[in-house]
Structure 1
Amino acid sequence: MHDQIPIPFEPEDHEPGRSIDKVLDQIRKRHEEVAIARGIPRPANGKPLPNDILRSALFGVSERAFRREEKIASLEGLEVFMVRGYRPTQAHLDVWEHCLELAARHGTGKQIRFSAYSFLKAIGRSTGKSDYEWLKEAIHDLAGCLVRISNGRYSYFGTLIQEGFRDEETNEYVISINERLALLFMGDNWTALDFEERRRLRKRPLAQWLHAFYSTHAQPYPYKVETIRRLCGSEVEELWKFRQLLRRALAELESVTGWSCTIDKNDCVVVVKKPSCPCIAS
């Protein structure tokens, strides 16, 4: 009698739900692999940033402070946490925005080389000694900023800049951006900010935050003043005082963008955009 050769059969799955879940997991994994391979988008105009970040107080308007495991205010459906590090400001967003643009050109997860001079010129900053030091500190802050961001389906946890190297004599940098940051751009869930408009709002952090936030909206929803105060990360406790600051910031935003920006009788911020604004990707 000859020994039978065992034939490896897949175990029969008697639970149809589990089979469906397995297929869906494989599809999701494939979509993630494609998104990572595609990397960060390169729009014809503007610099791409994830909506999930612009719709939160992660890059807020408050002064920096060391944070450890703090939930950051965000729109419903988003969860944003500062796990560790110095909470970034709108000035940090200028730096991170250009880092992502460089990553879009050269590839996430790859070495990105640049000089401090070229970087500062690209973001519209001066190139004096204090600016070189400011850039160094900003990059260090972003490299040490550990975050968790979830939009209900996809989550990213890691630093905003993965790692880096700096030549102290030549002021040249080599950095890398975590390739999984590309997952935050899936489903066209990103916005290309108008760099020139943002530059004209420099040193006005609340107006810059409003510009980034409303750039993610094709047709802005009327948010309560209190909601805007929470979402931008303002530390102004008196609502009436924040409302005064907000009115000034909205006037600045309106002057730069041409949008209509008001606070209505219901204490809601109403922003009406020009038709076919090119900065919105979704």
Structure 2
Amino acid sequence: MLSTATSHDTATSFWPPLKLARGKLETHRAFPHAFIRSSLFSSRKFSGEAVRDVAAEDNPIIIRTLSNYELVQVAGERLDQGDCDVYMWLLNRAYQRGLAGKPEARIFFTREEAISERGRSRGTKMFRLFHESLMRLYKADIIYKTPYANGRTRLISSIEEPTPTNKKKYDYEVIISAKVGDFFHENDFRILKNEERAKLKDYLSKWLHAFYSSHRNPIKYKCDLIKRLTDRGDTPERIWREKLQSALANVKEATGWLACEVMQEDGEPPKIHVIKGERQFPKKDAGESRIDGGESES
């Protein structure tokens, strides 16, 4: 297990380039495998009476991951797929504006840009939810170990809002912590199709879509493993199975994958069976065949 005594590394880090076709990030979003293949961004929706866990040095949140990653959250509230959408947007906005090779990811934007570019309707509620996500991301502090790096980092190191008296043309100045670039080294990321993710409304569907999109040829993972990775470990089995089957059907409809279902063979625990195969509707650009991200488990 990672030690919570791990300190922040102050050495200068530089963001790696993403080897993608020109314009790819206009229709896709790049996101680290360590974030996609773990419970860092929970599939739970924390609303109503649902209470988010709060991490502390002496009471960390142990993040469930696939075996080649280790993550521990030592500060901040539990993150969810809504926070994931915001963080994806921030990272990709930074890369679209020439982040590669720089030591700092500094982004300026208005509230309207943040909402409209993520396909949301503008309004007071959306502005409030976006701001709350930003603050959760800002407070989150994680210790990590990947195949290519280890350390400790905040997800966002600084958020600045203009004062009422200044005349700046943006609402936020956000700096993404430099060490987050560690998660993109050696192409250890996947790109997700904006159009597909936008069709998915519930958080479990979003999580499953990202996870299985990160595998070129998905193996049949046990339902129990996926249950832990989605942060649904304490959900009663009957309810979990119903939600899982519904979410898989949503993913299949959004992606056009050939198979996306729970299967159980004689004497074996239930597993999730995903076959991507040929899409069932035409691609917009058949020429987009360059690198889609890092190597994935198969």
Change (3 A) 1:127 1:254: same
SS of aligned partner of 1:162: strand
Change (3 A) 1:37 1:49: closer
Distance 2:17 2:83 in 1: 22
Alignment check: 8 A CA contact 2:31 2:191 kept: yes
Change (3 A) 1:94 1:163: same
Match for residue 286 of structure 2?
A: none
Q: How far does residue 38 in structure 1 lie from its aligned partner after superposition? A: 3.4
Match for residue 66 of structure 1?
A: 54
Change (3 A) 1:193 1:273: same
Distance 2:18 2:143 in 1: 19
Alignment check: 8 A CA contact 1:40 1:100 kept: no
> Which of these residues, 269, 275, 278, is aligned with residue 272 of structure 1?
275
Distance 2:89 2:37 in 1: 19
Q: Find the structure with the greater CA-based Rg.
A: 1
AA partner of residue 196 (structure 1) = E
Question: What are structure 1's unaligned runs of at least 5 residues?
Answer: 1-31
Q: How far does residue 152 in structure 1 lie from its aligned partner after superposition? A: 4.1
Distance 2:122 2:231 in 1: 30
Using the size of structure 1 for normalisation, the TM-score is 0.81
SS of aligned partner of 1:80: strand
> Which of these residues, 52, 57, 68, is aligned with residue 34 of structure 2?
52
Q: How far does residue 274 in structure 1 lie from its aligned partner after superposition? A: 2.8
Distance 1:258 1:46 in 2: 17
Using the size of structure 2 for normalisation, the TM-score is 0.77
Match for residue 131 of structure 1?
A: 126
Question: What are structure 2's unaligned runs of at least 5 residues?
Answer: 1-10, 47-51, 284-288
Change (3 A) 1:141 1:59: same
Alignment check: 8 A CA contact 1:253 1:261 kept: yes
> Which of these residues, 153, 157, 176, is aligned with residue 158 of structure 1?
153
Change (3 A) 1:273 1:113: same
Alignment check: 8 A CA contact 2:161 2:173 kept: yes
Match for residue 92 of structure 2?
A: 101
Q: How far does residue 272 in structure 1 lie from its aligned partner after superposition? A: 0.6
Q: How far does residue 235 in structure 1 lie from its aligned partner after superposition? A: 4.7
Q: Deviations over 1:247-270 (max 9, x none)?
A: 000000000001110111241001
Q: Percent identity?
A: 24
Change (3 A) 1:198 1:156: farther
Q: Which structure 1 residue ranges, 4+ long, deviate > 6 Å from structure 2?
A: 276-279
